[in-house]
Structure 1
Amino acid sequence: MFVLGFAGCIGALRENTFLLKFFSVFLGLIFFLELTAGVLAFIFKDWIKDQLNFFINNNVKAYRDDIDLQNLIDFAQEYWSCCGAHGPNDWNLNIYFNCTDSNPSRERCGVPFSCCVKDPAEDVLNTQCGYDVRLKLELEQQSFIHTKGCAGQFEKWVQDNLIVVSGTFVGVALLQIFGICLAQNLVSDINAVKANW
C-alpha cells in the first residue's frame, strides 16, 4: 500500500506517466482481486463458515498463550454476547479450562470472564465469574454465562448489518474506480500537453 500510494502521489506531483500507469494498473488489479474474493466468498460460504469455526477453535486452544489473542477473544465474546465457537463446551479444547480430572487448574470446567452475563449493578469487573460454571446444568448456566457460540453470533451480526457491510465494500470499490479514472485522466492530460510541444 505504501508503494502504491507513493507511486500515485509522486506520479501526480511530478506528472510522471509511468508512475501513474503503475498506480492505475495495480489499483485495478487490487479491485479485481477484491471482486473475485467477494464472489468466491458468496459461492463458498459454507467452506468459509467451516474455516471460521476452525479458526475460533484454534484460538480457543491458544487462549492463554498470547495476550493479544486473549484480548481479541475477550472483545469478540463481550461484543457478540457469546462463548466459544459453538458454545461454552468449546472451552474443553483449552488446557486450562477443560473438565478432565487430571486438570489441576483453578479455571477447570470454567470459561473466561468475557463469557459472563454482565450485572449492570456491578462497577468492578469480576474476572472469576466463569469459574466452575460448566459444572452446573445447562439451564442454570444461562443465568451466569452466554451460551450461544460466537460463529453463529458473528453470522447473525453480518446478516443484521448486511447493508452497512455491503455499503462499505461498494464505497471502497467506488473509491478505487474513482482513483483509477483520475489517474488515467491525468495521464491523458499530460500526454495531450506533451503532444502540443
Structure 2
Amino acid sequence: MTVKVFVAQRVSLLFIKTSPVFGNITMKIYQRELLRCMHILFCLVILVLRAGLLYLAVSIRERLFNFNAFLYDYVTVLVFYLITSSSVFIVVSAVGICAAVTFRRRFFVAYSAILAVLYLAEIVLFGIAFNGWLNFNATVEEAMDYHISNYRNDSRDIDYVQEELRCCGKHREDEWFDTLAYIPVSCCPSRPPTDTQDFCSLLPPDISFIIHNTGCLKRLQEMPLTGIKIITSILIGVCAVEVLSFCASTYAIREIGTVVSTKNVNITREYELTKKSEKNINIYNEKQNNTRKAEVLFQCNARKGVHYVHKNVNQLTDSGPNVKHTK
C-alpha cells in the first residue's frame, strides 16, 4: 500500500463522516425540504379550516340559540361536534407542524396514528349525522306540534319563532283555532298601537297586512340549509387535505427509516473500511521494518566481509618476504 492510497482512504472516510447524505438509497436534502414545506402547508390549511369551522359553530350557537327548542340537532348536537372536533384537530395540526419542523420520526408516527384514528371516528360520526339529517324535518315537525299543543303552559318558544320569522301556526294562521280558538298576538306584531288585546283581531278592513299568513314549519326547516351546505363543503375540503397530510407523513416516516438504515449500513462499512485500513497499515509497517532489518543485516554482513578481506590481504602482505622458494 502506497502513501497515496492510504491518504485517499482517509479522505473518503472523512467525507463519509461529514457528508449529510450518503449511500445509494437516501433522501436528498431538497426532497426533505420539499416534504417539510408540503407537510407544514397541509397542517396550516387544516388548522385554518378547522378554526373556520370552530368560528362558524360558535356563530350558529349564538345566532340560533333561541331556536334550540326546534332545531336541537342543528344548534346543539352539530355545534358540539364541530367545536370538539375542530379543537382536537387544531391541536393535532400543531403536532404535525412540530413533526415537520423537527423532522423526527416519532413525531410523524404519533401524528399519523392520531390523525388516522380521528379520521375514522369522523367518518363514523358523519354517517350518524347524515342519518339524523334525513330525519331532521320530522324532528322539527314533532317539536312544532308539541309547542303548539302546549301553548297555554309555555308560549315563549313559539311566540319567539312567530315574531322573529314573521310566521303564524304550523302551516297557516287559522290552525290556531283548533287549539286556542283565537290567534296569538305574536302572529300580528305589526298591529296598530291602539290594539291592546291579547290576541290578533280579525276585524276589517284588511287583516292580511296585520296577521302573518305563512306557516313556521317550512321556515324552520329551511333555516339550517345554508349553514349545512357551508359546513359540508368545508368538511369535504378539510378531509381531502387531511388525507394528503397523512400520505405526506407516512412518506416521511418511510424515508426517515430508509435514511436511518442507510446510515447504519454506512457506519458498518466505515468501521470495516477503518479496520481494513489499519490492517493494511500494520502490514505496510511490518514490511518496512523487515526491509530495514534486511538492509541493516546486509550492511553488517558487508562490513564483516570487507573486514575479513582486508585482514587476509594484510596477512599475505606481512608474510611475503619470509616465503621460501623451493625447486
**Partner residue, 2:88:** 4
Give TM-score, length-normalised by structure 1: 0.57
Distance 1:93 1:28, change over 3 A: farther
Q: How many Å separate the matches in 1 of 2:152 and 2:257?
A: 61
**Partner residue, 1:181:** 244
Specify the code of the residue in structure 1 equivalent to 2:146. N
Distance 1:132 1:183, change over 3 A: same
**Partner residue, 1:153:** 219
Task: Kindly name which structure, 1 or 2, has the bigger radius of gyration based on alpha carbons.
Answer: 2
Q: After superposition, what is the alpha-carbon deviation per residue over 1:115-166, rounded to whole angstroms, capped at 9, x for unaligned?
A: 33548xx9xxx7x878321x627995432221221112345667xx77x853
Q: How many Å separate the matches in 1 of 2:166 and 2:235?
A: 29
CA RMSD of aligned residues (A): 4.3
In structure 1, stretches of 5+ residues that fail to align are: 100-108
In structure 2, stretches of 5+ residues that fail to align are: 1-83, 100-106, 261-327
Contact map agreement 1:83 1:148 (CA 8 A) in 2: yes
Q: Percent identity?
A: 11
Runs of 4+, deviation exceeding 6 Å = none
Give TM-score, length-normalised by structure 2: 0.38
Q: How does 1:36-185 map to 2 (within 5 A)?
A: 37-38=129-130, 41=133, 44=134, 48-60=136-148, 61=150, 65=154, 70=157, 74=160, 76-88=161-173, 98-99=180-181, 109-113=182-186, 115-116=187-188, 118=190, 131-133=198-200, 136=202, 141-155=207-221, 165-166=228-229, 168-185=231-248
Instruction: Please say which of residues 5-14 and 169-178 is displaced more in the overlay.
Output: 5-14
* Structure with higher helix content: 2
Q: After superposition, what is the alpha-carbon deviation per residue over 1:54-102, rounded to whole angstroms, capped at 9, x for unaligned?
A: 12233443797597xx3x862x4345431232234566798xxx34xxx
SS of match in other structure, 1:196: helix
Instruction: Please say which of residues 57-66 and 4-13 is displaced more in the overlay.
Output: 57-66
